[in-house]
Amino acid sequence: MRLALVKGIAWPSRKIDGIEGTRIVLVSPAGSTDEGETLAAADPLQASVGDYVLITEGQAAGAALQPGNPRAYPLDAAIVAIIQPDEVRPRLLD
């Protein structure tokens, strides 16, 4: 898992079956060496722009939306927790 900041909301015109009701947000991983790194992440928790979140990536991202299914949705990233900013060390937020 990685800490990330929600930067915006993506509005796809169509989605694959199974994730139609899941919002897609744009996140920027905290502490990334690539300043422009932005990921599209499934957002089942309805995070707001400016929220700090924990994201999971790879096969775990699909499993986060469909636990126990070995053929989980093909996602690269998913939000699994919303973090209160006062609970994160300041240096991690840069």
Write the CB contacts of 87 (distance below 8 Å, at least 6 apart in sequence): none
Tens digit of each residue's pLDDT, the chain (94 residues): 899 999 999 987 777 777 777 889 999 998 777 777 899 999 999 999 999 999 999 888 877 777 766 566 778 899 999 998 776 665 555 5
Q: How far is CA 14 from CA 4, 17, 20, 38, 49, in A?
A: 25, 9, 8, 21, 22
Where do the structural domains in the chain lie, given as residue ranges?
A: 2-88
Architecture of domain 2-88: Beta Barrel (2.40)
**What is the pTM (predicted TM-score) of this model?**
0.79
Report pLDDT digits (tens) over 36-56: 789 999 999 999 999 999 999
